Structure 1
Amino acid sequence: MYKYHDIYSDIKRDILTNHYRAGTLLPTQDFFAKKYDVSRITLKKALNLLENEGLIFSKQGSGTYVRKQIDNDSSDLLPLDLPIGTTYSHRDQKISSTILHFDARLADKKEQEKLGIEASSPVYEFKRVRSINDQLYSYEHVVMPVYIAPLDEKILQGSVYDYLGTKAKLQLTDAHRTIYAEEASNQASKALQIEEGSPVLVIEQVAYDQKGRSFEFSKSVFKSSQSKFILDVHMSSDRISL
């Protein structure tokens, strides 16, 4: 593993645990270069990963800042344009998980295609309900190749992405998301305590790590009252024409 990935993971952990708080100025590059005993070129690679993930941003002549979190209103979903999860998007709030199902099995054809694995490759399957400030937030159905890292129910109680970053040195860098509405299934309705057939919003996701491997195929279901998104659209100046 490259040194800059370790630095990236270390600073990211400090951001997610509020050691470096949202909206505040990060320490200087000289500080980090001395702390990790690396060149500024190596450090810059780590900072670029953090910036690409939407955790930090730079202001010319001012420095590098920790990006402010999403609106504290727990009805807001994670931003659609950034490959992040609930732990980051609501990191100042109480997040808990209720495990409904956890097992290992062989992947079906659709899962094999999405995850780029062979029919003989085992996968973990887990279903859980995420709550924010003790309020039901989402119902997740996740399939993940066993070779990525060992999982258990204790790990699933917290942030799986943080665990994978520590255990497998794996970071979520890209995600392909499909968003659609449907009627709540029997399982989803029970998990979210709504009537079966109620309108729900679904985010189906294939997540990719820093090596370009697909390591997660998931479906997250949200009540219609929580169908609120945040999407920032940027256009570079060289692409703007009159």
Structure 2
Amino acid sequence: MYKYREIYSDIKKDILTNHYRAGTLLPTQEFFSDKYKVSRVTLKKALILLENEGLIFSKQGSGTYIRSKIDKITNELLPLDLPIGVTYSHRDQNIKSKILYFDARLPSLEEQKQLLLNKTDPVYEFKRLRILNGRAYSFEHVVMPTYITTITEEILEGSLYEYLRQVAKLQLVDAQRVIYADQASKEVSTGLMIDEHSPVLVIEQTAYDQKGHAFEFSKSYFISDQTKFSLDIHIKK
């Protein structure tokens, strides 16, 4: 794999996971050249790829900035190889959440296994519809241990990951994902406004924080003909 492709992938990940924040200056070329031990020519190739994707832009005499708005609106799913949510994958688009169910209970056997919990450890369970630009985008069914932090319906109406980052000092760092096709149940079809038994794409995810603790077990359902998956595959030589 070419070095500039590795650098491109690494910086892209930092942008999409909000390490480099939208609307702020990207670190200098000198910084990146020192960090990756490459020439300016090699680094420039990586930056061109990022600019072509609309992730960064340059201002004469000012520097290179993280683009705060994605110009080309797309219904493409968040990149599968990056642990990010809808808020970051569709930055500056109109994202809303409709809470369909929210409660606390004891975990099932599957949830105990996925989240490494005891049968007496309580969990939050919630179901919400993510709405993108006025249209149903995904149906989320999520289970989280209650020990992480206090969660309310008001919090779930916004970006949960951002709330966890700010309040619980918890960051989504890694995720194990299983992707498969299924038929929409009555509950999912009602939320997504499609016919019951219609084909849907499902992402089953166990999410891990910066300490390696599993803090989320979820299933997200997407309308099959309105969803595309993106995955970058690189082979190191």
After TM superposition, the score normalised by the length of structure 1 is: 0.74
Tell me by how many angstroms 1:61 deviates. Answer: 4.9
Instruction: Name the structure 2 match of 1:216.
Output: 216
SS in 2 for 1:91: coil
Cα offsets for 1:174-204 (capped at 9, x unmatched): 1000111111001001000111111111000
Aligned CA distance change for structure 1 residues 59 and 94 (closer, same or farther; 3 Å): farther
Instruction: Name the structure 1 match of 2:196.
Output: 196
Q: Does 1:153 align with 2:159?
A: no
Write the distance in 2 (CA, Å) between the matches of 1:29 and 1:151.
41
**4+ residue stretches of structure 1 with deviation over 6 A?**
63-67
Cα offsets for 1:60-111 (capped at 9, x unmatched): 5559967845884442111111111101110021100000001111101000
Contact 1:145/1:215, CA 8 A, preserved across alignment:
yes
Counterpart of 1:103 in structure 2: which amino acid? D
Q: Does 1:12 align with 2:18?
A: yes
Contact 2:20/2:26, CA 8 A, preserved across alignment:
no
Aligned CA distance change for structure 1 residues 154 and 234 (closer, same or farther; 3 Å): same
1:71-90 correspondence to structure 2 within 5 Å: 72-90=72-90
Counterpart of 1:27 in structure 2: which amino acid? P
SS in 2 for 1:78: coil
Instruction: Name the structure 2 match of 1:114.
Output: 114
SS in 2 for 1:147: coil
**Unmatched 5+ residue regions in structure 1?**
1-7, 32-43, 45-57
SS in 1 for 2:112: helix
Contact 1:139/1:192, CA 8 A, preserved across alignment:
yes
Aligned CA distance change for structure 1 residues 64 and 133 (closer, same or farther; 3 Å): same
1:1-242 correspondence to structure 2 within 5 Å: 12=18, 15=21, 18-20=22-24, 26-28=26-28, 60-61=42-43, 68=54, 72-236=72-236, 238=237
Cα offsets for 1:137-163 (capped at 9, x unmatched): 000000000011110011101111111
Write the distance in 2 (CA, Å) between the matches of 1:30 and 1:150.
43
CA RMSD after TM alignment: 2.8
Tell me by how many angstroms 1:28 deviates. Answer: 3.9
**Unmatched 5+ residue regions in structure 2?**
1-13, 56-69
Contact 2:203/2:220, CA 8 A, preserved across alignment:
yes
SS in 2 for 1:228: coil
SS in 2 for 1:225: helix
After TM superposition, the score normalised by the length of structure 2 is: 0.75
Counterpart of 2:110 in structure 1: which amino acid? K
Counterpart of 1:186 in structure 2: which amino acid? K
Write the distance in 2 (CA, Å) between the matches of 1:183 and 1:153.
28
Count of aligned residue pairs for this structure pair: 199
Tell me by how many angstroms 1:224 deviates. Answer: 1.2
Cα offsets for 1:204-241 (capped at 9, x unmatched): 000001111000000000111223111111122x3xxx
Contact 2:97/2:128, CA 8 A, preserved across alignment:
yes
Tell me by how many angstroms 1:27 deviates. Answer: 3.5
Tell me by how many angstroms 1:29 deviates. Answer: 9.4
Aligned sequence identity (%)? 55
Counterpart of 1:191 in structure 2: which amino acid? G
Contact 2:131/2:138, CA 8 A, preserved across alignment:
yes
Counterpart of 2:18 in structure 1: which amino acid? K
